[in-house]
Amino acid sequence: MLEPEPAVPADTIISRLFEQARKRPTAPAYYIRHASGWRPTNFQDYVGEVKQAARALVGLGFEPGDNVGVLGFNRPEWTTMVLAGQAAGGAAAGIYTTCSASEVQYVVDHAQAVVVLVEDESQWAKLLPELDRLPALRHVVLMKGAKPVIHERVLSWEQFLAKGDAVPDKVIEDRVAAIEPDQLATLIYTSGTTGPPKGVMLSHHNIAWTAKVAVDMIASTEHDTALSYLPLAHIAEQTFTIYVPATTGASIYYAESLEKVPDNLKEVQPSVFFGVPRIWEKFHAGISAKLSQATGIKAKLVAWAMQQGEQAVQLRSNGRKPTGLGYAIANALIFSKLKPAIGLGNARVCVSGAAPIGREVLEFFAKLDIIVLEVYGQSEDSGPTSFNQPQRFRLGSVGPPVPGVDVKIADDGEILVRGPNVFLGYYNDEAATAETLVDGWLHSGDLGELRDGFLYITGRKKEIIITAGGKNVAPKNLEAALKHHPLINEAVVIGDRRKYLTALLTLDPDQALAWAKQRGISVAELPTSDELHAELQAHIDQMNKEFARVEQIKKFTVLPRNLTQEDGELTPTLKVKRKQVHEHFAAQIEAMYAD
């Protein structure tokens, strides 16, 4: 009797990673920084770590369909746990390190995570007071090097891995072979316009297909390198750190910390670099300051070189390489020295995404022969909807639609997306899924136009604020908290494309009058009163404790008058018209970001 043929695993990120270990066992998979320098771990050992962690999960009772949670800065253990969860037949939910204890509790509970990996005792401290509200959570695992925690549910990384020693390899092999393409692979928690975050369900096919398309668009190979530093809870960083390298065999360098990113970047000199707009803005500010110090012949040389760069970008945008003596001289004297100085000496692909970036920033880098390609998308379509490609880009656009993805503009201007990258739906939220996913089309909530095959973003239907760091913030929750103080009548949170959040506040006429009388202050003096400022600052300081760091209000301004319907700032139902408020109080807004 013939033995049945073994099941052939579906084309998943896990199967691709395992194939890398078979084809290129000694090639470097990732690097971590030690005192002596960057130390590599090869693909054979990397896959060994993933399999051991997967066996450990099984040893702890992890069943197919279960979920794990991960909370911490980018580390090999982060990606190992995500991949182990997938290999064991489940999925992972990343959690931002900036989340408050209540936000961490919400995600862990909503995702029904049975195991959570945390970076250290400070992240464990966010879980400890919430344990009674987490019925599904059975074990908490600490990353390597964390200070020991004595608790019945907590395991060190080494104790965790040891739980897999008694589990046969075949258990994991069978679970990987049983993975279906449409099975849940990862949960990306993203804020909606109001209320708690929603869990975006991405399938194995979603992430595997998207990774392959990304590889093709940037012509990525096993020779590529990248620096992992943006939050891995975000789909874009998961793609660049986990999914693309598993597909190509490229190498990842894990940044030591956010503070060390500039130094690490200069040491690594990656070939592919992904940055949110805030990163590019910091580069822009630093380079501009240095270039402005040039005088005489040097200043003239810089201006001339930037002219050469401007001409070169026109050629590159049409798929042609810049040639000629002028460009060669500019490259030799300016470009080839500037790029390594900021860590982009080997960069062949530079990407900006997760939030809008100013065209003037893109044009500045283009003149320095650094083409920053803007990508647009959302968690709900696995990251990319459209992408400016190295051989086909238009500064100011967000690129042509990703190959294989259909993009159309609805009658009201909303961008609609359909393709293999579109998500399964929201985890345990059928109502939100039905609202966002209609007849196979993802309703993005963004407004846009298609011109000459390129997509341009013109606005947003949703009122979500996207900070310069790429974090989605729902302003209504913050505004409601601000208005808990009796003196505050109206609150408008500002922060779209900005590096931090601020607020415009108006005062309740009756409360303000009574408060002023008690202190012998005239109502007219209140907006600039130090005493009032201190009162409101104390309220905001207390309020900020309930929100993640990126959601906290850093500055505020008390407006000299209330918002009115007559001035077009309120609707007949007294809802705030944000656009008009931004226009009418532009000076006050800019003053809060002047430094």
Give the confidence band of 573 by pLDDT, cuts at 50, 70, 90.
Answer: very low
What span, in angstroms and rounded, lies between the C-alpha atoms of 283 and 268?
17
Distance CA 373, CA 21 (A): 32
Q: How many CA atoms lie within 13 A of 556 on its CB side?
A: 31
The whole-number average pLDDT for the span 396-409 is 96
Is residue 538 over pLDDT 50?
A: yes
- pLDDT of 322 higher than 60: yes
Q: In what order do the strands lie in the sheet with 251-254?
A: 37-42, 28-34, 251-254, 225-228, 272-275, 349-352, 372-376, 386-387
pLDDT > 70 in the chain, percent: 96
Return the percentage of the chain with pLDDT > 90, whole number: 68
Q: What is the pLDDT of residues 426-477, one digit of tens each?
A: 999 999 999 999 999 999 988 899 999 999 987 767 677 888 888 878 787 7
CA distances from 20 to 15, 174, 212 (A): 9, 19, 15
Identify the CATH number of the domain defined by range 272-460. Answer: 3.40.50.12780
Q: Please count the other Cβ atoms lying within 10 Å of the Cβ belonging to residue 88.
A: 29
- The residue type found at 34 is H
Q: Which pLDDT value is given to residue 565?
A: 67
Give the DSSP H or E segment for 438: strand 437-438
CA distance 533 to 515: 13
Give me the CATH topology for the region 1-13+46-179: Rossmann fold (3.40.50)
Angle CA(477)–CA(482)–CA(486) in degrees, nearest 5? 135
Identify whether the C-beta of residue 225 lies closer than 8 Å to the C-beta of residue 200. no
Q: Is pLDDT of 4 > 60?
A: no
The Cα–Cα gap between 383 and 376 comes to 8
Query: Would you say residue 376 has pLDDT above 50?
Result: yes
The lowest-confidence range among 152-161, 323-332, 400-409, 562-571 is 562-571
Amino acid at residue number 26: T
Q: What is the CATH number of domain 474-592?
A: 3.30.300.30
Question: Residue 110: its pLDDT value, please?
Answer: 96
Q: Would the pLDDT of 194 be above 70?
A: no
Cβ contact 402:419 at 8 Å: yes
SS3 call for 340: helix
- pLDDT reported for residue 7: 57
Least confident of 48-57, 104-113, 562-571: 562-571
Spatial contact of 305 and 333, defined as CB atoms under 8 Å apart:
yes
Whether this model's pTM surpasses 0.85: no
Q: Identify the residue with better confidence: 478 or 254.
A: 254
The reported pLDDT for the residue numbered 468 is: 87
Q: Tell me the pLDDT tens digit for each residue of 210-263.
A: 999 999 999 999 999 999 999 999 999 999 999 999 999 999 999 999 999 999
Given a cut of 60, whether residue 1 has pLDDT beyond it is no
Report whether pLDDT(497) > 50. yes
- The half-sphere exposure of 336 on its side-chain side, counting CA atoms within 13 A, is 7
* Digit-coded pLDDT (tens) for 87-98: 999 999 999 888
Are 67 and 112 in contact, with CB atoms under 8 Å apart?
A: yes
At residue 286, the 3 state secondary structure works out as helix
Annotated domain spans of the chain: 1-13+46-179, 272-460, 474-592
Question: Count of H helices and E strands in the chain?
Answer: 22, 26
Here the tokens at position 2 are 């013939």
Quickly state the pLDDT bin for 193 (edges 50, 70, 90): very low
Does the fold of domain 272-460 match that of domain 1-13+46-179?
A: yes
Q: Which pLDDT does position 213 carry in this prediction?
A: 97
Task: Using CB atoms within 10 Å of the CB of residue 287, give its burial: 0 to 12 exposed, 13 to 18 middle, 19+ buried.
Answer: middle
Place of tokens 């029904």: 112
Predicted confidence (pLDDT) at residue 496 exceeds the cutoff of 50: yes
pLDDT at residue 388 is higher than 50 = yes
Please, what is the end-to-end C-alpha distance for the chain in angstroms?
Answer: 79
Query: pLDDT-based confidence at 571, cuts 50/70/90?
Result: low
